[in-house]
Every structure is written in structure tokens, then in C-alpha cells.
Amino acid sequence: MRCPHCGNFDDKVIESRTLANGESIRRRRECLGCGYRFTSYERIEEKQFMVVKRDGRRQPFDRKKLEHGIERALEKRPVSMMTVENIVNEIEDLAVMAGKQAHEISTRQLGELVLEKLSAVDKVAYIRFASVYRHFENMEEFIAEVNKVGGEHGGDQ
């Protein structure tokens, strides 16, 4: 596999981990040329997993779009990129399992998975994501959401 840092094709696998009940493998690799460590994934190619939008349109699941939304919510928060990657991996695994039969998941279900994970990691990121995802109509809805999150853990963030 080509190193994303130096372009070398020689690497070694440091660790392999099975994900999504054996349907994918995450491999940590180290470039033998420059020592850079990176992650690769192997998945069984099958019917494309789709996301059902609110208006009924379907589009392919886009891991990058999910990752971008989570990164935006966590912008300038004390959360590592490894944590972001783990959150995205967990959400992707949960989404695939939730939509296993139909090979699709609704944006509502996907959004709730993201909110659940963000709530456990960072309350500010949770509120940021919720404000975009839930389309608050007025300040009262926003304040109610903040109070709900603050009340869950005594307002620790």
C-alpha cells in the first residue's frame, strides 16, 4: 500500500482489528521508508449502503461527509483526531448494523447515532451538531436542548 506521507510502497502491518462483526478489517501500518503510521481498511464489496434523506431521496453513505460533520462540531474542542476517527468508525459500524436488512439508514437515525456519540464525548460539540441537525426554530428550543444536556451530567462542560 502506498504511504500517504512519502509515497513509498513498502510497509508493514502493525495491528489488525476486525470491525462490524467481521465484515471489515482495520489495519495499522507503518511505512518502511519514512516510519509514518497510517490506517487502512478492507471491506467486502457488496450492495452500496445508502442514506435516505428527509425528502425521500437516497444517496450513497459518505464516510467523509460524516467525518466532516463530526470534525466541525468538535472544532477547537480538546478532542484528538484519533478520538474523531474512533467515533466515525463506531457510527459507521452502528449505521451498517442498523440498516443491515435494507442496506440503508435514514438521516434521522444517522443523526441520532452522531448525537449519542458526541454527547458522551463533548457536550459543546453535541449542542453544535444538534443545532444544525435539529433545525431549532427559536431560542426556546435551543435553550431546552442545552438544559437537557446540562441536566444529564450536572452541567460538567
Task: Write out the chain's pLDDT in tens, 157 residues.
Answer: 899 999 999 999 999 998 877 778 999 999 999 999 999 988 776 678 889 998 999 999 998 999 999 999 999 999 888 899 999 999 998 888 888 778 899 988 998 899 999 988 888 888 888 877 666 666 776 677 677 776 654 444 4
Q: Exposed, middle or buried: residue 121 (CB in 10 Å: 0-12, 13-18, 19+)?
A: middle
Please answer whether residues 130 and 119 qualify as being in contact, where contact means their C-beta atoms are separated by less than 8 angstroms: no
pTM: 0.60
The residues that bridge with 106 in the sheet, in sequence order, are: 52
The cell numbers describing 106, all together, are 435514514
3 state DSSP class of 24: strand
Residues 67, 68, 70, CA angle at the centre, nearest 5°? 65
Strands 104-106 and 50-52: parallel
Q: Where are the domains of the chain?
A: 1-45, 47-152
